Chains A and B, each alone.
Chain A
Amino acid sequence: MALPQAKLDATDARIAALTLPEGASWAREAREGGLLRLRTMGLPGPRDEYWRFTRPDALNAASTPGAAIFKSDETALFGDIDRLRVVFRDGVFDADASDDLSLENIEIERLETATAKDIHWAKDLYGVLETRGQTPVKRPFAAMNTAFATDGVVLRATGKVSKPVSLVYLHEKTDSDAILHFVIRVETGADLTVLENGPAAARFNKCMEVDICDGGTFHHVRAQGRDHERLAVTHLFARLGEESTFKSFTLTANGRLTRNEAVIEITGDNATAHVAGAAVGDGDFHHDDTVFVTHDAVNCESRQVFKKVLRNGAVGTFQGKILVKAGAQKTDGYQISQALMLDEDAQFLAKPELEIYADDVICSHGSTSGAIDDEALFYLSSRGIPNAEAQDLLTLAFLAEAINEIENEAIAADILSRLEGWLERHRSA
């Protein structure tokens, strides 16, 4: 079906100011492919099945509405973790602020450099996992990202990488509109942790493609900054080989609009994929997790654990699907999405989906939204714990299942302390 002219016009208006970056012919082709996909599907609209809960207008707009810079007096997240820092300032790689990009068992290369080479391993992945992830659900902003991404890095882990690669996204201009693309390949038996931290820009479009070969392990922990007005649409595409492990956790605090998509395809037997998130919002906050996990192999486990704490008009949405293809026997799929409403004004919309074509599987899903348990609150206060502290304790308990998905204890402790700080700052009067 051809795209209606109005939708095509809107799409062209959205990308009018963007140009396809130069590169080797494979990279040009990949980018042109992304552009073609985008112009074929068009920008999302409220009638698109997976955009009913989230208005894409601010993401569709030709220019960014802008976002004030957030000044934080907190110490840098992951500051005590020994890591290799790759810094982007409003979506532009900053070599001076970054560490030396060399580390044993991993190749780190700027996207621009990698895509300029005629022969490069990233050719098999750039825009490739994104394309696979376009079926059956359209993801226009990911296609747009493949076409127009201006910066990013490609990572290839060949063994156990001794410290995390930490992507640091600084936001310093009120009108920055960044598009970053990352390609990650975890070779057979390799082990890599990637951290992401920061808002990146007033409006941020990020795409990360992760290919985990047999026996590979990939850990991912991200925090999306504390800026209130920023917009973000992110895609995480992962393909899992045999006996591989993928674990991703996202902390979102504040942000006018965040759409985080995770599209995970399990192609090898005995693999594990966990994707989790904790989102906390107060006021002008719309947070959307859209997850699609495909089981296409035997004896694999997947978990989706998403928790949101909402107050004062904040909105949380969750769309999570588990697709078990024919033959994907012994699948163990789990999905939970829960919202804790700290007042009556918050809103949570959830759409859990299961689609199963194999008979020997265990899949469970649940979605709830509710308030703090009064009985528990009274029990804590009756022991002398002040109400606000008791609320925080119960809220952190609510978030615990998601935070527990972070394997590294120091990183988990750091994330937990950010949540504690947020809750303390956002207590009810």
Chain B
Amino acid sequence: MLKINNLHVKLEEEDKQILKGVNLEVPAGKVHAIMGPNGSGKSTLSYVLSGKDGYEVTEGSATLEGAELLDLDPEERAAAGLFLAFQYPVEIPGVGNMTFLRTAVNAQRKARGEDELSAADFLKLIREKAKSLKIDADMLKRPVNVGFSGGEKKRNEILQMAMLEPKMCILDETDSGLDVDAMKLVAEGVNALRSEGRSFLVITHYQRLLDHIKPDVVHIMADGRIIKTGGPELALEVENNGYADILTEVA
């Protein structure tokens, strides 16, 4: 599904290398997790994959189902099936959540040559998905993320993911800021989407989320590289011992 090959990325504005050769492959239908110390480059990787400005790819490539991702505009990547649940979802005053989602869903359908969803069908769909995430009608009407609590913002990300039905979902610390119940809700939302044709890359600091969303593979990222890859037990090791052992082990 997603294949990242020797990806090197520096900041556009300053001469600072952030990703220093990332290699990663997430096969279709699998859930991979990335853990790693603060500042190791996890969010940067997710931004570069989604096409955010400000980064320069100096070497390497990334493909989604064989198609080169890095040449595409962000909206083209989205239409191709990539989705990023932001670590810090953006507030957009003046744009209603519902309008935003309908525009997004229909823009993607249009880009894929599909018919737009009728207003009625859209409404039915969003009500159903919102309900399972305990997002009330008021939150749907309000401007995108404006005045949402941290947890509400994260649930809103999952709602978008559920509506857009992407193939490759990257979740950047979707668990941070969630209370125990919200974490369960989010995990259920994610698990409901798990399928053969859909892959996940879950960035997290905590083993807890991975109890709910069982990963097939866990990667450890440090200083712009994947330094260790293993099974779910790797997450437990981090939870118990921190990163120190792993870092010395590979150094």
A388 and chain B: residue at smallest CB distance: B75
A386 to B143, CA, bound (A): 19
Asked if A379 and B78 make an inter-chain contact with CB atoms under 8 angstroms apart, the answer reads no
B92 interface neighbour in A381, A387, A397, A401, Cβ under 8 Å: A397
B74 interface neighbour in A375, A381, A400, Cβ under 8 Å: A381
- A384-B75, A393-B99, A397-B92 given. 17 additional CB < 8 A pairs? A373-B92, A375-B90, A376-B91, A378-B52, A379-B90, A381-B73, A382-B50, A382-B51, A382-B74, A383-B75, A384-B78, A385-B104, A386-B111, A390-B75, A393-B95, A393-B100, A400-B94
B103 interface neighbour in A376, A382, A385, A401, Cβ under 8 Å: A385
Residue in A374, A385, A398 with the greatest tally of chain B CB atoms within 10 Å: A385
Q: A396 on the interface (CB 8 Å rule)?
A: yes
Q: B86 on the interface (CB 8 Å rule)?
A: yes
Residue numbers of A with Cβ under 8 A of B are 373-376, 378-387, 389-390, 393-394, 396-398, 400-401
Task: Please list the 5 inter-chain residue pairs (A to B) with the smallest Cβ-Cβ separation, ordered nearest first.
Answer: A397-B94, A384-B78, A384-B108, A381-B74, A383-B104
Asked if B94 and A396 make an inter-chain contact with CB atoms under 8 angstroms apart, the answer reads yes
Asked if B86 and A389 make an inter-chain contact with CB atoms under 8 angstroms apart, the answer reads no
Asked if A378 and B107 make an inter-chain contact with CB atoms under 8 angstroms apart, the answer reads no
B96 and chain A: residue at smallest CB distance: A397
Q: Which residues of B contact A386 (CB under 8 A)?
A: 73, 75, 107, 111
Q: Which residues of B contact A389 (CB under 8 A)?
A: 103, 107
Asked if A378 and B74 make an inter-chain contact with CB atoms under 8 angstroms apart, the answer reads yes
Asked if A383 and B100 make an inter-chain contact with CB atoms under 8 angstroms apart, the answer reads yes
Asked if A387 and B78 make an inter-chain contact with CB atoms under 8 angstroms apart, the answer reads no
Asked if B107 and A385 make an inter-chain contact with CB atoms under 8 angstroms apart, the answer reads yes
- In B170-212, which residues have CB < 8 Å from any A CB? none
Q: Which residues of A contact B78 (CB under 8 A)?
A: 381-384
Asked if B111 and A394 make an inter-chain contact with CB atoms under 8 angstroms apart, the answer reads no
Q: Which residues of A contact B77 (CB under 8 A)?
A: 382
Q: Which residues of A contact B108 (CB under 8 A)?
A: 383-384
Asked if B74 and A393 make an inter-chain contact with CB atoms under 8 angstroms apart, the answer reads no
- In B104-129, which residues have CB < 8 Å from any A CB? 104-105, 107-108, 111
Q: Which residues of B contact A396 (CB under 8 A)?
A: 94
Q: Which residues of B contact A374 (CB under 8 A)?
A: 53
A296 to B95, CA, bound (A): 37
A268 to B67, CA, bound (A): 69
A400 and chain B: residue at smallest CB distance: B94
Q: Which residues of A contact B50 (CB under 8 A)?
A: 382
Q: Which residues of B contact A397 (CB under 8 A)?
A: 92-95, 143
User: Do most interface residues of chain A lie in helix, strand or loop, or is the interface mixed?
Assistant: helix
Q: Which residues of A contact B144 (CB under 8 A)?
A: 379
Q: B84 on the interface (CB 8 Å rule)?
A: yes
Q: Which residues of A contact B99 (CB under 8 A)?
A: 393
Q: B79 on the interface (CB 8 Å rule)?
A: yes
Residue numbers of B with Cβ under 8 A of A are 50-53, 73-75, 77-79, 83-84, 86, 89-95, 99-100, 103-105, 107-108, 111, 143-144, 160, 164
A385 to B79, CA, bound (A): 9
A373 to B95, CA, bound (A): 13
Q: Which residues of B contact A394 (CB under 8 A)?
A: 92, 94-95
A384 to B100, CA, bound (A): 11
A401 to B93, CA, bound (A): 10
Asked if B53 and A378 make an inter-chain contact with CB atoms under 8 angstroms apart, the answer reads yes
Known: A376-B92, A397-B95. A387 touches B52 (CB 8 A): no
Q: Which residues of A contact B89 (CB under 8 A)?
A: 379
A-B contact pairs, 24 of them (CB 8 A): A375-B90, A376-B91, A378-B51, A378-B52, A378-B53, A379-B144, A380-B100, A381-B51, A381-B73, A381-B78, A382-B74, A382-B75, A383-B107, A383-B164, A384-B75, A384-B78, A384-B107, A384-B164, A386-B73, A394-B92, A394-B94, A397-B93, A397-B94, A397-B95
Known: A374-B53, A378-B52. A383 touches B92 (CB 8 A): no
A376 and chain B: residue at smallest CB distance: B92
Q: Which residues of A contact B164 (CB under 8 A)?
A: 383-384
Residue in A380, A382, A387, A401 with the greatest tally of chain B CB atoms within 10 Å: A382
Q: Which residues of B contact A401 (CB under 8 A)?
A: 94
B82 and chain A: residue at smallest CB distance: A382
In angstroms, how far is the closest chain B Cβ from the Cβ of A415?
16
Asked if A379 and B86 make an inter-chain contact with CB atoms under 8 angstroms apart, the answer reads yes
Q: Which residues of A contact B103 (CB under 8 A)?
A: 385, 389, 393
In angstroms, how far is the closest chain B Cβ from the Cβ of A305?
13
A140 to B84, CA, bound (A): 59
Q: Which residues of A contact B92 (CB under 8 A)?
A: 373, 376, 379-380, 394, 397
A397 to B73, CA, bound (A): 23
Asked if B90 and A398 make an inter-chain contact with CB atoms under 8 angstroms apart, the answer reads no
B84 interface neighbour in A373, A382, A390, A393, Cβ under 8 Å: A382
In angstroms, how far is the closest chain A Cβ from the Cβ of B137?
20
B145 and chain A: residue at smallest CB distance: A379
Q: Which residues of B contact A375 (CB under 8 A)?
A: 90
Asked if B94 and A387 make an inter-chain contact with CB atoms under 8 angstroms apart, the answer reads no
Q: Which residues of B contact A373 (CB under 8 A)?
A: 92
A393 and chain B: residue at smallest CB distance: B95
Q: Which residues of A contact B111 (CB under 8 A)?
A: 384, 386
A88 to B89, CA, bound (A): 52
Asked if A384 and B79 make an inter-chain contact with CB atoms under 8 angstroms apart, the answer reads yes
A390 to B99, CA, bound (A): 12
In angstroms, how far is the closest chain B Cβ from the Cβ of A59?
35
B163 and chain A: residue at smallest CB distance: A383
A383 and chain B: residue at smallest CB distance: B104
A384 to B79, CA, bound (A): 6
Q: Which residues of B contact A398 (CB under 8 A)?
A: 94
A394 to B73, CA, bound (A): 18
B89 and chain A: residue at smallest CB distance: A379
Q: Which residues of A contact B94 (CB under 8 A)?
A: 394, 396-398, 400-401
